[in-house]
A and B are shown apart, each in its own frame.
Chain A
Amino acid sequence: MPPVIDSEKCEKCGGCVDVCPEDVYFGSRKKELPSVSYPEECSHCNACVEECPVQGAVTIRIPLPMMLLYRPEGNHSGAT
């Protein structure tokens, strides 16, 4: 569920908790690992990723119902 926190990398600065417009981290405590309390309310806006000082400590995972649909190569019926 989005977002995903890497507990090894997270420095517990609280930046993601502070910035999230949807407050999906509601209930997180200062200087502790952020808890993603309302993951299904994530707007996948990337604010937490941008705010995080450590590359990869927080990532946005796109949920399966939102996977991008595309047409595989070699499956064209026309002149695309």
Chain B
Amino acid sequence: MENEHIKTDVLCIGGGIGGLMAAIRARELGAEVAVAEKGNIKRSGRGGGGCDHFLCYIPEVHGSDMDAYIEEMMKTQQRRNFMGLSKERLRTHIRNTYDIVKLWDSWGIPMKPRGEYYFAGHAFPGGFRTLLKYAGRHQKPILAKKAREAGAKIRNRVMIFDLVLDRDGNIGGAVGLDVRSGELVTFEAKAVILGTGYMSRLYQHITPGWMSNNAWRFSLTGDGRLMAYRAGAELMDLDFMRLHNGPRYLARFGQATWVGVYRDPDGKPIGPFVSKPEVLYGDATPEADKLIFKKYHDAGKGPCYMDGNGLSEEDHQEMIYWLEHEGNDPLLKHMAEDGIDFRKHPIEVTSYNQGCLGKVATDEEGRTTLDGLFAIGDEVGSGVSNASVYGWMCGESAVKIAKQKAFSGTFELGDESKKRVDILSKMRTRNGYGPQWREANIALQQIMSDFAGYLRSDEIMKAGLFHLRRLRKKALETMVAQNPHELVRSLEVMNLLDFGELVFISGLDRKETRDTHVRTDYAITDPRLNNKAHIIKMVDGRPVTDWRPI
């Protein structure tokens, strides 16, 4: 093979928080490590803009009962972030958070910028506060530097699109496309850690006419989930939607960084938790019901506001400080330019539909159902704390595997990968007036939002699945890409089309109403499916669903 070929013990696919933590740890333990990153590790991933809150359990702060901390945490939005994960998985995560916090502080990420650990936000008055406030705006550049210093080989600007299996069906590496040159890049590895992050662009967002309106990043398209699926690993819970809340129409993070009260147009607090701005708690109303603002809107009871009237100057300055660390500089600049003063002008808020909650199925140590393949970060849960703890742990486990294993001696792309390479080559060389990736993406979003949205039935989803398959066929046969950049966007859309199909198949199989999976033909929640993960995996080239106890 003439293309660039990198041989390494451990390959981290995605250089976000999780991937870099895995790379740093695996290097510390003596393994050769490569990081394959679609963008640039310095600012890529959902943590690239910064963050101001970190789930962290400190016995001296929260008491010796860690389960009580977890119980409190699961009353907040973490309930949905960690849906479908076992109690043991949650315990393993939370048990290790304080060590990572101390480590980050020693690396120069200020975890106690006020001099002591300070917890606030995403909290209910009366309960204890589970989120540590930290000054994380430069977390990615710091981790990126650390990974380079540790000796990890960083390969920026390559989009991995398939895992490569060896002759025995074990993980053998991965194949990707250089996003600037369009050349193939292959990686031969003994263990692979998937950390490609969140999946955006599957559903219409709050500004359907302006697709890239998402702090969750335009270029994050859940690629790892599809690679894992195609390689034979299990995915789970594709039936549920990932939801969030925030300002309309500028979709950003920081739901709990705003310090004010969520109010209806008459000034009445929407939730029962606070009636004036409370710096220690924020307003946890959307933690209790992630769809509350949508419900108000649909019932004609909106608009809903985040109201900062009554916030002291000192508390306002502090809120701005945290908003900056949460990656909100462009929003603050926009507010300043338009003369929007949070203490005088309540900000309109809305429910964000962030796509599908579906994840790669892993055990409490981050292992997927394929030997030598791990999945971390947003592919499994959500948040910086989850990504960093599991990145660190899986980096360690990957080294153990690499040390026991030799390279198989052969490295060949599978048939599916070869098919993909062929489609890519056709997209580049097709002449004429074929659609560009954006057309296919918009068409997909329409189908997902209309046929796998907030109301579902057998008829609706079957119709949607038919439309999606027709769209995919047309897209694959006619899409054109002018350059490597557009080729990468097309590859992303191909992943999204495949994932959309799995959402329909999974949704049709869940014959009940649960969480955001609301079926008009199966209105009840089936108690027999409580505490069960809904699995989907590929068997003999076809998707097969199953249920497994959590």
Chain A positions within 8 Å of B, measured between CB atoms, are: 18-23, 26-27, 37-38, 40-47, 49-51, 60, 62-63, 65-73, 76-80
What would 7 A/B residue contacts be, using CB atoms closer than 8 Å?
A21-B40, A23-B157, A43-B215, A43-B219, A60-B330, A62-B250, A67-B334
- A49 to chain B: closest residue by CB: B329
- B260 to chain A: closest residue by CB: A80
| A65 lies within 8 A of B43 (CB) | no
Interface centre among B43, B157, B211, B340 (most CB of A within 10 A): B43
| B250 lies within 8 A of A67 (CB) | yes
Query: Complex: how many Å from CA A27 to CA B485?
Result: 9
Q: 4 nearest interchain CB pairs?
A: A78-B267, A21-B39, A47-B43, A69-B348
Contact A68 B331, CB 8 Å, known A43-B214, A46-B49, A78-B265: yes
A residues less than 8 Å from B338 (CB atoms): 67-68
Query: Complex: how many Å from CA A51 to CA B268?
Result: 43
Query: Complex: how many Å from CA A78 to CA B335?
Result: 24
Query: Complex: how many Å from CA A72 to CA B249?
Result: 16
| B211 lies within 8 A of A66 (CB) | no
| B340 lies within 8 A of A68 (CB) | yes
| A78 lies within 8 A of B268 (CB) | yes
B37 to chain A, nearest CB (A): 9
B residues less than 8 Å from A73 (CB atoms): 344-345
| A40 lies within 8 A of B333 (CB) | no
A residues less than 8 Å from B251 (CB atoms): 66
| B44 lies within 8 A of A21 (CB) | yes
B residues less than 8 Å from A21 (CB atoms): 38-40, 43-45, 48, 217, 219
Query: Complex: how many Å from CA A57 to CA B217?
Result: 23
| A26 lies within 8 A of B43 (CB) | no
Query: Complex: how many Å from CA A75 to CA B143?
Result: 46
B residues less than 8 Å from A80 (CB atoms): 261, 263, 267, 305, 307, 309, 346
B residues less than 8 Å from A19 (CB atoms): 40, 42-43
B355 interfacial contact with A, CB 8 Å = no
Known: A21-B43, A49-B329, A51-B42. 12 other contacts (CB 8 A): A21-B219, A22-B217, A43-B212, A45-B43, A45-B330, A46-B329, A46-B330, A47-B48, A60-B330, A60-B333, A67-B334, A78-B265
B81 interfacial contact with A, CB 8 Å = no
B residues less than 8 Å from A38 (CB atoms): 485
Contact of B217 among A23, A43, A76 (CB under 8 A): A43
CB under 8 Å from chain A, chain B span 291-349: 303, 305, 307, 309, 327, 329-331, 333-335, 338, 340, 344-348
Contact of A76 among B38, B215, B267, B327 (CB under 8 A): B267
Contact of A66 among B43, B249, B264, B340 (CB under 8 A): B249
Contact A68 B48, CB 8 Å, known A20-B40, A23-B179: no
Interface centre among B249, B330, B334 (most CB of A within 10 A): B330
| A66 lies within 8 A of B210 (CB) | yes
- B210 to chain A: closest residue by CB: A65
B107 interfacial contact with A, CB 8 Å = no
B residues less than 8 Å from A27 (CB atoms): 483, 485
B530 interfacial contact with A, CB 8 Å = no
Interface residues on B, range: 35 or more
| A65 lies within 8 A of B213 (CB) | yes
A residues less than 8 Å from B327 (CB atoms): 45-46
Chain B 251-278 near chain A by CB (<8 Å), digits 1 or 0: 1000000000101111110000000000
CB under 8 Å from chain A, chain B span 203-254: 207, 209-215, 217-219, 247-251
B180 interfacial contact with A, CB 8 Å = yes
B residues less than 8 Å from A41 (CB atoms): 212, 218-219, 489
A38 to chain B, nearest CB (A): 7
B residues less than 8 Å from A78 (CB atoms): 263-268
Contact of A68 among B43, B266, B268, B334 (CB under 8 A): B334
B247 to chain A, nearest CB (A): 6
- B309 to chain A: closest residue by CB: A80
Query: Complex: how many Å from CA A18 to CA B38?
Result: 12
Chain B 189-212 near chain A by CB (<8 Å), digits 1 or 0: 000000000000000000101111
B residues less than 8 Å from A60 (CB atoms): 330, 333
| A71 lies within 8 A of B346 (CB) | yes
| B485 lies within 8 A of A26 (CB) | yes
| A20 lies within 8 A of B39 (CB) | yes
CB under 8 Å from chain A, chain B span 404-445: none
Query: Complex: how many Å from CA A46 to CA B327?
Result: 8
Query: Complex: how many Å from CA A74 to CA B50?
Result: 35
A16 to chain B, nearest CB (A): 11
A44 to chain B, nearest CB (A): 5
B residues less than 8 Å from A63 (CB atoms): 210
Query: Complex: how many Å from CA A21 to CA B219?
Result: 7
Query: Complex: how many Å from CA A18 to CA B263?
Result: 43
| B266 lies within 8 A of A77 (CB) | yes
Contact of A70 among B43, B263, B348 (CB under 8 A): B348
- B345 to chain A: closest residue by CB: A70
A residues less than 8 Å from B38 (CB atoms): 21
B residues less than 8 Å from A71 (CB atoms): 303, 305, 345-346, 348
CB under 8 Å from chain A, chain B span 341-375: 344-348
Contact of B249 among A42, A49, A67, A77 (CB under 8 A): A67
Query: Complex: how many Å from CA A73 to CA B347?
Result: 11
| A68 lies within 8 A of B485 (CB) | no
- B42 to chain A: closest residue by CB: A19
A42 to chain B, nearest CB (A): 6
